[in-house]
Structure 1
Amino acid sequence: MGKNDGVLTDEDVSTYLSNLGQSASGLEFVYQFLSVHDQNLKDVSILCNYIYLQRLELPHNNIKDLSCVSHMPDLIVLDASHNQITDFFGFRPPKNLKEVNLSHNQMSVMTNLSEYSSLGILKLDYNCFSEINGLERCAALTHLSLAHNKISRISGLDALPLKDLCLRGNQIEKIENMDTLRALQVLDLSLNRISSLLGLQNLCLLSSVNLESNQISEIKDSSYIQELFLLRELNLLRNPIEGQPDYRLAVIFLLQHLTILDEVNISAEEKVSAINKYDSPMEVVAARDHMTHMVYQLMQTQVIYDSTLPSLDTPYPMLVLTGPQACGKRELAHKLCQDLNQFFAYGACHTTRGPYFGEEDGSDYYFVTEADFQNMIHMGQFIQTMQYQGHWYGLSRAAIENAARQGLACCLHMELEGVVRMKNTYFKPRYVLLLPTDKEWYAGRLMARALYTHPQIDVAVNRVDTYTRVNRERPGFFDSVIPCDDLVEAYKTLRKVLMEYLGEEELDGGHQINTAIPDYISTGLQRKYFVDVALHAPVTRLEADFTSPIATETDPDHVQPQLSSQKTSVELASIHRLQQRVREALIGRSPGAYPQPLNRFPQTAPSSLPSGIQQDPAFLIPMMPRASHAPKHDPSESSSFDDSRASSGLSIPSSAGAFSETAGPTGCSDVELLNLSALGNSLDTLKDHVDSGHTPDRLHPGSERLSPAASVRPGSNAKPILPPIPSGRKTPGSSPRP
């Protein structure tokens, strides 16, 4: 070949011909392929005689003229890369030419290729093109490569059916004019000057994007391709974005459909970590929040709280009203605590937002600065916290203790996130969902308050569907659901449900009578008892009129439930009894056994309480039984034991029947009526006990602990009855905690 000074001869051609087959017309057999690599060819004009060629490969030569291709009407593939060609397509177009590779040549201007209707693959890498043009009518062009040219702007590609586009190593600064490339699947824009991903958002079929070595610096730019759900590979190596904190997890979170990032496979662990870091499920956030508060609480001095009950099986009773923002849950909570102040006390949460018109500090919320709020977190003062619309909300331990100290159940209101957090604590509230069923009414209510922007209103309205979905997909997550489109009717329904489970009956005019506890002892015991608000009965509406209006958000006169500081006779007896035990300890006497049995036998609440509460060993103090079933007093019982009951003002539950010598064959004694007649002589009785060497808690000699017999009643397998709230702990003159 060298002796001909780079001129291709027939002898040379015969050496490189291959693939004998039929010609395009099918009338004769011809050689279809010619491939001459790296032979320093300069003149290939001899190929004008080889008109039947279908594939011509002449790479790595010194060819400048390809006019011979004009004589090859059946040519399909042309490879003339790594030559010295300067004339762009300097030949007449073969009608079936499908693939052309003219990379590594010296072409600088693209001409019109509208006559190349069959052209599907065009490679023009490493030339001197500065502009893309002439391709508008290439209706079959699916692969185009113009890598390492001098192109500074993407243009001339309108409506092309491109699937693979490579513009690597150019001078492009912005992604533009690509909205019409709807079939594009693979895009290579590496080694350019691109600083933003804007311009890719409409390329719905993209599966691979290479942006290596550009100037992308913001993670938020990934949001432009967040809706490209077929995108699987993304390369952002050697971009300033790599210096961002947690860059990889942030991109994986924004583009959760990716499988390869920066040429490294994305693991399932990385995807889970990204979601937990940037958009944790409510359960994960709640668990993390609970862990944080528990750690901070354990760092503080440990004390026994008023809400602590004698057993883990008897949690402190609470009621939580939940629902979307401004659905009326706060007004209903205030109204409920105002009307049923013998059972409920309002628990005000802390918040970092400012007060709305009519809200009072300490009555509706405790309004604090963010610095004070964070300090309270570090001091372990919160049970749970959450952030909503940029503001912090938190339920403090003091809010619960203020209610527990009064012997009342704490009534709260909170958003869904707060409910999920409360379910991680050891408190076991009953949750009532107040749900708007008319979104237009709900949106109008939000607008009428003139406190929220339109985006905030849209978010609040959309959260109605979130509450509905949680209630549908997680049965039992809420104990009851009440429509709140009409707050008057919602309150009637809420009150109806609560009164039924508190053993109360409504009279005309909204007043109630106590059917579960006799009138002459109801005052002393209602402060100590909160029957479990199971809230699983069918929701019905009250027929009675709603006589007192519900306090609105702008009403400054919220009435908080307050109890009299005057002690009842039961509480005074309990205090005297405690003082007696202290005196005995000081003179060296060992304390007697605590009269309440430690082993409780779980019982369940009936689906609806009867007109009078039946005997139930789950109560720490038995209710007054019906007159027809009144237990008989056993005169054989020791006087010391009688005095013990008299001093405390309480009778022993049926499970304590083992302490009596007259236990029946089943081991259960009759439950005695509450004896209030002895309360007036409680101090004298205590003195007699000290003189006789007996303590009020000392058991009768020879008594044995026997298993109680649980009374069977309808609905006993529904929900456990919560025990009474321990009372009588606060000393006279004590003030509520702040």
Structure 2
Amino acid sequence: MEIAGELTEDEVFKCLSGLGQSATGLQHTYLCLSAPGRDLKNVSILCNYIYLQKLELPYNKIKDLSCVSHMPYLITLDASHNQLTDFFGFQPPKNLKEVNFSHNQMTAMKDLSAYSSLTKLILDHNSFSVIRGLEKCKRLSHLSLAHNNISRIRGLDHLPLRELCLAGNMINKIENLQTLHNLQVLDLSCNRIQSLTGLQNLRFLGTVNLESNLITEIKEAAHLHDLILLREINLLKNPVQDHDDYRIAVIFLLQHLILLDKQTVTAEEKVAAVNKYDPPLEVVAARDHMTHLVYQLMQPQVIFDSTLPSLDAPYPMLVLTGPQACGKRELAHKLCQEFSDYFAYGACHTTRGPYFGEEDGLDYHFVTEEEFHNMIQMGQFIQTMQYGGHWYGLSRESIERVAREGLACCVHMELEGVFSLKNSYFEPRYVLLIPSVVDNYVLFLKARGFYSNAQMETAVSRIDLYARINRERPGFFDSIIPCDDRAEAYRSLKQLVKEYLGLEEHSGGGDSSSITPDNTSTNTTGELPAASATESTDLMDSYSRNYQKKIQANMTPQRTEMASNHRRLQQIREALSGKSPGAYAELFQRSVPAAPSSLASQSHPPAGPSSSPVRPAGLSAPNLSEDSSSEESRASSGLSMRSSAGVFSAESPARGSDAGSGPNIEPLDISMLGQDRDSLRGLTPDAPRPASDRVSPTHPSSPGRPGANVKPVLPPIPSGRKTNDSGSKQ
């Protein structure tokens, strides 16, 4: 008579499958039995089937599994969705590897030391509150205790787990997982976790499910930043999703992700995340340039002094760059002092406070952050950057103040500023000052006493950044100078600047070469010396070779050049006679021009028998060849003409005294200008003149402009005005 819920022989025959050799290999038998959903309560008949290797009895009402004690070869056991209360209530089969006791009524775990072969254990939907008894399961790789009453993670030390599921419990904190070195998949969904700390040491972790927890801060994802194998994370139904740009921020912190919240992470999202939170220097520089360009275009447009010297050549600048406290500022000041006829220091603006010994307006312009941002919105900056929590910026006025003096601008800045400046139309020479001995650099930083340990670590780390940029971007810096020894660094910088400027010692003998106003070494025929050109070409980069070609092309007189110069002369005559107060007249009024000695010879001297009118040297017929005429026609730029205007100015110190107290200067007859360029060229301060016509025998002669001998040079620097200004005050 059949009893309800009892497994019979006939049902067993229907459920057997997998005919094969027994574990002993002596006979053929059925190895698998599967009887799901039969409302079975008694399966004691299975004690006779000792050769079974796989037993599946899910969705029944079984309360006793003691029959398993008679199955020594059993490998897989599935008794899920039953009414079991006894945890492993049978003698352990020697080779039992996989057990599924989910959806039962178990309340406590016991020692499983006898189950040394166990690799997979599923205990979901029971009533366990504490994890215990697994210490000896040295082969256990998969453990699932989802939807139990577990409140703390413990009892898992040093297990070889690769997958761990603790979803649906009451866990508040991720703890005691640091010894699970092989863990790859972790499911902690539906818990009460607020922080992701505790996961940072799981270096093989690839998938994390944290859905339906209490994570509120995006920064918690930073705990997973170093998990380079992490490919999937689920933070759905967490308060953190309410943050703006939540997805982009998490993708930025975890850049190896493939899936976030069950959605594929695209390449566009990764690029957007990097550009938003840690953009490359090029992106920062591009944004910086666009910002300042837009704000500048919103302001009234004017012609800048830095663009007047030559419309086809960039304004000359020298930029010293390098890590913090590498000596950029000190060397820049020293260079500007020694080469004061060529360079002036351009002070940047900053929101940081002054260090000991720094002066406002001399080293930096120290402003508040509000003032700094107001200047940005007024379009007053060429480039800005943020470093160490402070803003730094190079203003347009800093450069224009130097340009009005007819000098080149020397500035210093960090690497971010260099990237930004390279986007502008300026083309400076960039000199990298970099420490070569890190220990000495650290000692110097400590000796200054200005920096915290974090600041010094940042400064040291940036040495590698500068070195990497130089290595990966050949030609990014024009020159590199080690700055361990400041004195030696300055000697190298000084020699480099001399080469840039083309400052050479010239013999006073019968040397046929001379320094022209454009500072190009030429002979009497107006051509570049062949030997010098060949030698320098080997040393120049592509930029310098192009510059040499431009010089040689400009030395050849052209019809368009003659017509252009004629138009310029006509405009100057009209401006001087008051007929056309245009750009040239305004140009003459921008600064106090110097009075050449030729004008003094033209004025009426005090009464005396020996006084007689003398024709100005510029209006006499100078002995200039046509080659020199074409050569000097290249000097007719805005600044050089402005210097020339000084000869016509009524503000010249040659006036000597007020009206009525002394002789006045006779008005200059415009007709005396003549009809050719030589009449005007003779009056330019840059043009050579006899010693008798100079302002003072003791006045130093104007040094040559940068670019001599066709070496790697700065663009032409207009010279003479600052020297003449100082001479006029003597």
TM superposition score category, shorter chain reference: 0.7 to 0.9
Distance 1:361 1:681, change over 3 A: closer
* Aligned match of 1:97: 96
Quote the Cα distance in structure 1 between the aligned partners of 2:416 and 2:377: 21
- CA deviation string 1:618-666 (max 9, x = no partner): xxxxxxxxxxxxxxxxxxxxxxxx9997499998995964999xxxxxx
Q: CA deviation at 1:221?
A: 1.3
Mapped contact 1:125–1:147 kept (Cα < 8 A): yes
* Aligned match of 2:544: none
* Aligned match of 2:346: 347
Q: CA deviation at 1:582?
A: 2.3
Q: CA deviation at 1:269?
A: 0.8
Distance 1:716 1:60, change over 3 A: farther
Mapped contact 2:103–2:126 kept (Cα < 8 A): yes
* Aligned match of 1:87: 86
Identity within the alignment, %: 60
Alignment of 1:580-595 (within 5 A): 580-582=573-575, 586=579
* Aligned match of 2:402: 403
Quote the Cα distance in structure 2 between the aligned partners of 1:658 and 1:130: 96
More divergent stretch after superposition (314-323 vs 464-473):
464-473
Q: Please state whether the residue corresponding to 2:271 is helix, strand or coil.
A: helix
Q: CA deviation at 1:536?
A: 11
Q: CA deviation at 1:4?
A: 3.2
* Aligned match of 2:150: 151
Q: Please state whether the residue corresponding to 2:305 is helix, strand or coil.
A: coil
Mapped contact 1:112–1:133 kept (Cα < 8 A): yes
Distance 1:134 1:654, change over 3 A: farther
Mapped contact 1:152–1:170 kept (Cα < 8 A): yes
Flag structure 1 segments of 5+ consecutive residues without an equivalent. Answer: 508-514, 523-533, 539-574, 592-641, 661-673, 700-713, 734-738
- CA deviation string 1:694-734 (max 9, x = no partner): 697999xxxxxxxxxxxxxx99986576234388799999x
- CA deviation string 1:210-230 (max 9, x = no partner): 111111111111121111111
Residue type of the partner of 2:574? R
Q: CA deviation at 1:14?
A: 1.3
- CA deviation string 1:308-352 (max 9, x = no partner): 136553000011111111111111111111111111111000000
Q: CA deviation at 1:371?
A: 0.2
Q: CA deviation at 1:365?
A: 0.5
Alignment of 1:429-448 (within 5 A): 429-448=428-447
More divergent stretch after superposition (647-656 vs 136-145):
647-656
Residue type of the partner of 2:348? C
Residue type of the partner of 2:29? V
Distance 1:347 1:11, change over 3 A: same
Mapped contact 1:686–1:696 kept (Cα < 8 A): no
- Asked if 1:206 corresponds to 2:205, the answer is yes
Quote the Cα distance in structure 1 between the aligned partners of 2:580 and 2:72: 123
- Asked if 1:366 corresponds to 2:344, the answer is no
* Aligned match of 1:47: 46
Mapped contact 1:222–1:251 kept (Cα < 8 A): yes
Alignment of 1:419-498 (within 5 A): 419-498=418-497
Mapped contact 1:689–1:696 kept (Cα < 8 A): no
* Aligned match of 2:33: 34
* Aligned match of 1:266: 265
Mapped contact 1:480–1:535 kept (Cα < 8 A): no
Residue type of the partner of 1:11? D
Distance 1:314 1:43, change over 3 A: same
Q: CA deviation at 1:472?
A: 2.0
Q: CA deviation at 1:360?
A: 0.8
Quote the Cα distance in structure 1 between the aligned partners of 2:711 and 2:417: 26
Residue type of the partner of 2:21? Q
Distance 1:390 1:721, change over 3 A: closer
Mapped contact 1:497–1:537 kept (Cα < 8 A): no
Mapped contact 2:316–2:714 kept (Cα < 8 A): no
Mapped contact 2:575–2:581 kept (Cα < 8 A): no
Quote the Cα distance in structure 2 between the aligned partners of 1:650 and 1:288: 55
Q: CA deviation at 1:473?
A: 2.0
- CA deviation string 1:216-251 (max 9, x = no partner): 111111121111111111111111111122111111
Q: Please state whether the residue corresponding to 1:26 is helix, strand or coil.
A: coil
- Asked if 1:723 corresponds to 2:716, the answer is yes
Q: Please state whether the residue corresponding to 1:223 is helix, strand or coil.
A: helix
Q: Please state whether the residue corresponding to 1:4 is helix, strand or coil.
A: coil
Q: CA deviation at 1:162?
A: 0.7
Q: Please state whether the residue corresponding to 2:93 is helix, strand or coil.
A: coil
Q: Please state whether the residue corresponding to 1:39 is helix, strand or coil.
A: coil
More divergent stretch after superposition (135-144 vs 490-499):
490-499
More divergent stretch after superposition (100-109 vs 19-28):
19-28
Quote the Cα distance in structure 2 between the aligned partners of 1:475 and 1:119: 60
Equivalent pairs, count:
600
Q: Please state whether the residue corresponding to 1:250 is helix, strand or coil.
A: helix
Q: CA deviation at 1:687?
A: 5.1
Q: CA deviation at 1:501?
A: 3.3
Residue type of the partner of 1:270? E
Mapped contact 1:309–1:725 kept (Cα < 8 A): no
* Aligned match of 1:134: 133
Alignment of 1:284-295 (within 5 A): 284-295=283-294
Mapped contact 1:161–1:181 kept (Cα < 8 A): yes
Mapped contact 1:318–1:429 kept (Cα < 8 A): yes
Quote the Cα distance in structure 2 between the aligned partners of 1:179 and 1:697: 88
Q: Please state whether the residue corresponding to 1:174 is helix, strand or coil.
A: coil
* Aligned match of 2:244: 245
Quote the Cα distance in structure 2 between the aligned partners of 1:178 and 1:580: 89
Q: CA deviation at 1:678?
A: 14
* Aligned match of 1:22: 21
Residue type of the partner of 1:242? Q
* Aligned match of 2:305: 306
Distance 1:368 1:169, change over 3 A: same
* Aligned match of 1:337: 336
- CA deviation string 1:583-616 (max 9, x = no partner): 5573899x9xxxxxxxxxxxxxxxxxxxxxxxxx
Question: Is the helix fraction higher in 1 or 2?
Answer: 2
* Aligned match of 1:393: 392
- CA deviation string 1:514-570 (max 9, x = no partner): x95499x99xxxxxxxxxxx99979xxxxxxxxxxxxxxxxxxxxxxxxxxxxxxxx
- Asked if 1:192 corresponds to 2:219, the answer is no
Quote the Cα distance in structure 2 between the aligned partners of 1:236 and 1:72: 44
Flag structure 2 segments of 5+ consecutive residues without an equivalent. Answer: 507-512, 521-535, 541-567, 585-614, 634-640, 651-664, 681-706
Quote the Cα distance in structure 1 between the aligned partners of 2:406 and 2:100: 88
Q: CA deviation at 1:499?
A: 2.0
Q: CA deviation at 1:271?
A: 0.8
Distance 1:721 1:394, change over 3 A: closer
Quote the Cα distance in structure 2 between the aligned partners of 1:60 and 1:164: 25
Residue type of the partner of 1:435? I
* Aligned match of 2:546: none
Mapped contact 1:647–1:696 kept (Cα < 8 A): no
TM-score (norm. length: structure 1) = 0.74
* Aligned match of 2:700: none
Quote the Cα distance in structure 2 between the aligned partners of 1:147 and 1:224: 24
Alignment of 1:168-179 (within 5 A): 168-179=167-178
* Aligned match of 1:571: none
Residue type of the partner of 1:120? T
Q: Please state whether the residue corresponding to 1:431 is helix, strand or coil.
A: strand
Q: CA deviation at 1:85?
A: 0.7
Residue type of the partner of 1:581? E
Residue type of the partner of 1:586? K
Q: CA deviation at 1:376?
A: 0.2
* Aligned match of 2:325: 326
Quote the Cα distance in structure 2 between the aligned partners of 1:199 and 1:649: 88
Distance 1:356 1:653, change over 3 A: farther
Residue type of the partner of 1:722? P
Q: Please state whether the residue corresponding to 1:107 is helix, strand or coil.
A: coil
Residue type of the partner of 2:716? P
Residue type of the partner of 1:452? Y
Quote the Cα distance in structure 2 between the aligned partners of 1:692 and 1:680: 12
Distance 1:401 1:691, change over 3 A: closer
Distance 1:127 1:678, change over 3 A: closer
